[in-house]
Amino acid sequence: MSVPLFNIAPNLAVSRLCLGTMTFGEQNTLSQSFRLLDEAFDGGINFFDSAEMYPVPQRAETQGRSEEYLGRWIRERKIPRDRVVIATKVAGPSGQMTWIRGGPKCLDASNIIEAIDNSLLRMQMDYIDLYQVHWPDRYVPMFGETEYDPVRQYPSIGIDEQLEALGRAVKAGKIRYVGLSNETPYGMMKFIQVAEKDTCYPKIVTLQNSYNLLCRTFDSALAECCHQERISLLAYSPLAMGILTGKYFSPGGGPTDARLNLFKGKYSEGESRYNLSNKIIKAAAAEHLTIAKTYGLHPVSLAIAFVLRHPLVASAVFGATKSWQLQEVLNACKVELTSGVIEEINNIHSRLPNPCP
């Protein structure tokens, strides 16, 4: 099987499916992680995404394991470095993860450089293909929040300092390209504006934000920004943390090892957005499952194909803990949705817009 490629930057072509590694080291052991990576690579996926804070739910005892497993896989399988595209992220300010640079308290130059060096050390690599700011160094509504509250703003590090540090890392050969994640239209345009001031500052090439059948907020304003500035969307959570597979609608609320069951009460970022007690979320998901059944589509194929048909989406960043889940996503690459399916999807969206913002 072959997964199509998408050029997100000069000399950087990524597969339209990207295997996220945030379960590696928590839900998946080293051998299980290797098996998934093997099968993804053999299936045509060359793009792998991680973060310094992974796996999730985040814990001091496991922090960094996802990167370690990914780097170890490349070394032990003797995969040529230019055959894979490796993306990872620096954690933004957080008062909870005290085990990561004391918080981390901010994204100043020293924090960014230290994070890059630590990721390279964990992965035992010379360079990172795509380095992303995991979330902004300023207050923004995230993970299910929809309204901006000016009172919650706090002192933050300027974008100049962040880009200067990232530029130094590019010049030193530690990273090739820079991306943003969980960013707003204002934030993305400010990064672009500041980058234009100095040729030493790197250009933003990607935005990794949530995009799926239950979360289409990207299309409100970010889509225009990305289109005009030629920035590709890396759409994470294309299956809405598994809700769109339908597994949580089975008797008993789904498998006990499904993430929203396994980590109930321990994963606030996910649960705040993908709240299974929310009747609108369940109603919208159920209607999409009905569309899949009506048209003879696998629910995973419907969800993934919808994301990949977006002209600004370079790659869908998905997670899998089992081989059969990975195979379902790979199979979705062969599916094209008809105009009738899209019309029904849009009808649901017009009545139940963005229940998982």
Give the CA distances from residue 115 to residues 93, 132, 291, in Å, rounded to whole numbers and listed in that order. 13, 11, 44
The C-alpha atoms of residue 53 and residue 64 are separated, in whole angstroms, by 6
Q: Identify the sign of the CA torsion 340, 342, 347, 352.
A: positive
- Cα angle 109, 113, 119; round to 5: 145
The C-alpha atoms of residue 159 and residue 190 are separated, in whole angstroms, by 8
Give the contacts of 10 (CB within 8 A, at least 6 positions apart).
none
Helix axes 299-308 and 323-332, enclosed angle (nearest 10): 50
Concatenating the DSSP letter of every residue in 256-325 gives TTSHHHHTTTT-HHHHHHS-TT-HHHHHHHHHHHHHHHHTT--HHHHHHHHHHTSTTEEEEEE--SSHHH
Other C-beta atoms within 10 Å of 307: how many? 24
Other C-beta atoms within 10 Å of 13: how many? 15
- φ and ψ at residue 89, rounded to 5 degrees: -140, 150
Q: Please tell me whether residue 243 adopts helix, strand or coil conformation.
A: helix
The answer to whether 139 and 173 are in contact (CB under 8 A) is no
Active-site position among 54, 236, 248, 274? 54
Counting beta carbons within 10 angstroms of the beta carbon of residue 72, is it exposed (0 to 12), middle (13 to 18) or buried (19 or more)? middle
**186 noted as active-site residue:** no
Active site residues: 54
